[in-house]
Amino acid sequence: MFDNLERSLTVAGSIEEALAARKQGAAILAGGTWLMRDERRGLTLPQAFVSLHAVPGLKAIDIEDHQITIGAAVTHEVLGKLLAGIAGLEAVTAAATGAANPAIRRVATVGGNLCTTDFAAADLLPALLAIDAIVELQADHVPLCLPIASFLANRRDLLAGAILTRVILCRDNLASAHARLPLRRAGDYPVAIVSVALTAERQIRIAVGSVEHVARRWTTLEEAFSAERDGRPASGEIAASLAAQCNDFEGRDGIEADGWYRRQVLPALVRRSMEALLQEDAAR
């Protein structure tokens, strides 16, 4: 991937080493499966990279009773295997096990998925938004924890001076679900993604990815759901009807799909995800 005559790669042994390399102009090697396509997109690769794969602790997943801490270097494959069967995290499990293809899932990391700012089709983002995950960053020995929605809103500025080290999942959701729509011409990437979660207060959170340039919560639809009897739609069909009325997404145009099409398929994905969520809740 790299021409040794033109580019350098530093393997950091600590976050401090990685931060020092950043200050010398090196870019964090994250989202490499997307980065490989930069030159085909007309972008120039950085001259120097720093890898985090040897930093202790970043490949660890710590599963506790009330929360799960995921290192930034954990791969999608490992994440999907270790979270399988954990109530409330079904959306994250589905996002990890269904993203891209098996070869990419074996190498693509959580940190890369969250930090590749030009990659709109990241599966993990809507799933983590739906369950209200926390992101941990580190800069100059000072850790910073903030909700993933706040991280995404300020991602470029935050990553200019900090490194994402961990993602924290609170185990306070009752159930969650994830639906994606791939198209043959889109390759391994979905043209639209919908993730939903049922909170301990029995409210519904909804997040959408790939439709716009950055994943976000669908707050207008959440409000419409909360106005329904019992605070949620009674069926997937009702959820889809509400989604059609609350569709406030602009939709991004791309070679794999036009923006109008991404918007158009959202009600169907809402129906699928809500049907799965209602089934999970009824089974408990």
Report the alpha-carbon distance of residue 242 to residue 238 in Å, rounded.
6
**Residue range(s) defining the domain that contains residue 279:** 174-283
Confidence of residue 28 (pLDDT cuts 50, 70, 90): confident
Q: Is 225 within the bounds of a domain?
A: yes
Query: What percent of the chain has pLDDT above 90?
Result: 69
Full strand arrangement of the beta sheet holding 204-209: 173-182, 190-199, 204-209, 216-217
Q: Are strands 27-28 and 48-51 parallel, antiparallel or unpaired?
A: parallel
Q: Is the domain of 44 the same as that of 70?
A: no
Average pLDDT (62-73) is 96
Whether 162 is covered by a domain: the verdict is: yes
**DSSP, residue by residue, 221-260:** HHHHHHTSGGGS-SSHHHHHHHHHHS--------SS--HH
| Residue carrying the six token digits 């009824």 | 282
Angle at 108 between CA 162 and CA 12, to 5 degrees: 45
| Domain containing residue 69: CATH number | 3.30.465.10
**Same domain for 163 and 200?**
no
* Confidence tier at 52 by pLDDT (50, 70, 90): confident
Establish how many alpha carbons lie within 13 A of residue 134's alpha carbon, considering only the half-sphere containing its beta carbon.
Answer: 13
The pLDDT score that the predictor gives to residue 3 is 45
Instruction: Determine the pLDDT at residue 34.
Output: 58
Together in a domain, 265 and 183: yes
Q: State the pLDDT at residue 19.
A: 85
Residue 277 maps to which CATH number? 3.30.390.50
Question: pLDDT tens digit string along 191-243?
Answer: 999 999 999 999 999 999 999 999 999 999 999 999 999 999 999 999 999 99
Task: Kindly report the average pLDDT of the chain as a whole number.
Answer: 90
Residue 56 inside a domain? The answer is no
**65 lies in the same domain as 133:** yes
Same domain, 13 and 42: yes
Structure pTM?
A: 0.91
Question: Does residue 155 sit in the same domain as residue 244?
Answer: no
Q: Domain tally for the chain?
A: 3
Give the max Cα distance, the chain: 65
Residue 23 has pLDDT above 70, yes or no: yes
pLDDT of residue 186: 52
Whether residue 178 is found in the same domain as residue 121: no
User: pLDDT tens digit string along 169-189?
Assistant: 999 999 999 999 997 765 578
pLDDT of 2 higher than 60:
no
Region of 223 on the Ramachandran plot (φ > 0 left; ψ -120 to 50 alpha; else beta): alpha
Shared domain for 273 and 218, answered yes or no, is yes
Which residue, 145, 170, 195, sits at the end of a domain?
170
Q: Is the pLDDT of residue 31 over 60?
A: no
- Whether residue 117 is contained in a domain is answered as yes
Residue 275 lies in a domain: yes
What number of residues does the chain have?
Answer: 284
